[in-house]
Copies of this chain bind each other. A is one copy, B any other.
Amino acid sequence: MSNKGITPREKSYPEWYLDVIEKAELAENSSVRGCMVIKPYGYAIWENIQKGLDRMIKESGAKNAYFPIFIPLSFLSREADHVKGFAKECAVVTHHRLKETADGKGVEVDPDSKLEEELIVRPTSETIMYDTFSTWIKSWRDLPLRINQWANIVRWEKRTRPFLRTAEFLWQEGHTVHLTHKEAQEEVKRALGMYVEFARQYLAMETYYGKKSDSEKFAGAVNTYGVEAMMQDGKALQFGTSHDLGQNFAKVFNIQFADKDGSLKSPWQTSWGVSTRMIGALVMTHSDDNGLVLPPSIAPIKVVLIPIFKDENKEKVLEYSRSVQKELSKSISNVELDDRDFVSPGFKFNEWEKKGVPVRIEIGQKEMEEGGVVIVRRDTSEKVKNGFGDLTEVVEKTLSDIQENLYNRSKELLISKTYRVEDFEELKNTFEKGKGFVRANWCGDPKCEENIKYHTKATTRCLTDDGVGIKGKCVYCGKDSSEEWIFAKAY
């Protein structure tokens, strides 16, 4: 345990993760099993994610809308695969009224208020949306239809961890409907590419992305594509998925359009989403034993100014600090001045370090006299003096250097910890000793995949585009294969 109250990663990566979440004040457990409270600092990160991603989603032509949180139980039974994969662990609403208890001191469920049909709190919205889409879509002119929803989602997970797996979480879900399968497939790839680009530009993360195996695909989809990031412990975290739904849902929800020739046809659908899980990925990718590390482009506070003063020079140092804040704020958003006088500068350094603020600026008597400041980078701890004159430029440059450095680190980790293996012994050894991803040929037989999982706990993560056509022997059974898959232990 460091002086920051954070378990070092070497000691326990899972404990470290929970400590960072707590000390950075991102989220905490609530009184409701498996549901977290997203605290203001954590929510501000989510708002930044929303802002960036919402712009990309709208540029793609999708429009935001809002559908009911409840799904009639019978809807879930309609698409056979969907119900098998999805509808098991969820919150079921059975009654719609409470009444006073006999002693008048509390409330209890009114048994007379039983619903005719139970309602499920949405675990995803395909069924409730497509029921409506069937009335919106009549002609080929109504296609493509592109709808996105920002919403809360409930899945009754047994074991939960803040951001990574919680009973309730926040997400966006895009749902599109197309004239042809080809167009739908292009949309699936476009959405996947959007997530990959978003991860690069905003989260400073490099990822692998590609098709998931049948056992890992979305319940009801023809094909699922996923984005897989590597955490510092070498495990994979999938944070975005994009599904080719084929005509599966269109057929059971009676979505049909009159084509140009007048004939009635079933359209082709896609859905794609990312959630607050992304924040978990962000934390685990960049943070260190001193706490959270945030890429500037997603940080709620980009720069924090810490004045160092005693009673006798307090007003002067604060005044100078305010002028620095004013100057920086002209071009940089979210420059915070920590002017508290009841905690020490050391306490503040610690606190903002734990919160992952990219740039800390220290301003004391000496800096004030010299007309400068001290700039400290969160990612490298590098400390430099700088004058007032070109301060904005230098801080802006520092922020973009941090963004780039974090991205490069993420990319290096991904590449350096991805191992090509040829046979099952090598695969087992790699997962036992090394931490990371494995590239290996796989014949596509679900039994091989199952056996690999049984022996190593690693699963197929995805088939990247450049893994297609790589000739080799299946890492488990030795049969010929022309697909090199990414395998990893996953969150």
Chain A residues with a Cβ under 8 A of chain B: 28, 30-32, 35-40, 43-44, 46-47, 63-77, 80, 83-84, 87-101, 105-109, 113, 118-121, 128, 131-132, 141, 147, 151-152, 154, 156, 168, 170, 342
Contacts and interface: CB of A to CB of B under 8 A. Distances in A.
A80 B84 CA distance: 43
Contact of A31 (B37, B40, B95, B131): B131
Nearest to A145: B40
A50 to B, nearest CB: 11
A89 B97 CA distance: 5
A391 to B, nearest CB: 27
Given A83-B107, A106-B77, A30 B96 contact: no
B105 A77 contact: yes
B91 A73 contact: no
B64 A44 contact: yes
Contacts of A95: 91-92, 94
A72 B63 CA distance: 35
Contacts of A63: 40, 43-44
A47 B73 contact: no
B94 A92 contact: yes
A66 B97 contact: no
A334 to B, nearest CB: 12
A32 B127 CA distance: 12
B156 A70 contact: no
A40 B68 contact: no
Counting from the closest, the 5 A-B pairs by CB-CB distance are A77-B106, A35-B68, A40-B63, A38-B66, A92-B95
Given A32-B71, A76-B107, A90 B96 contact: yes
Given A90-B98, A92-B109, A96-B91, A37 B64 contact: no
Given A40-B63, A43-B64, A63-B40, A96 B87 contact: no
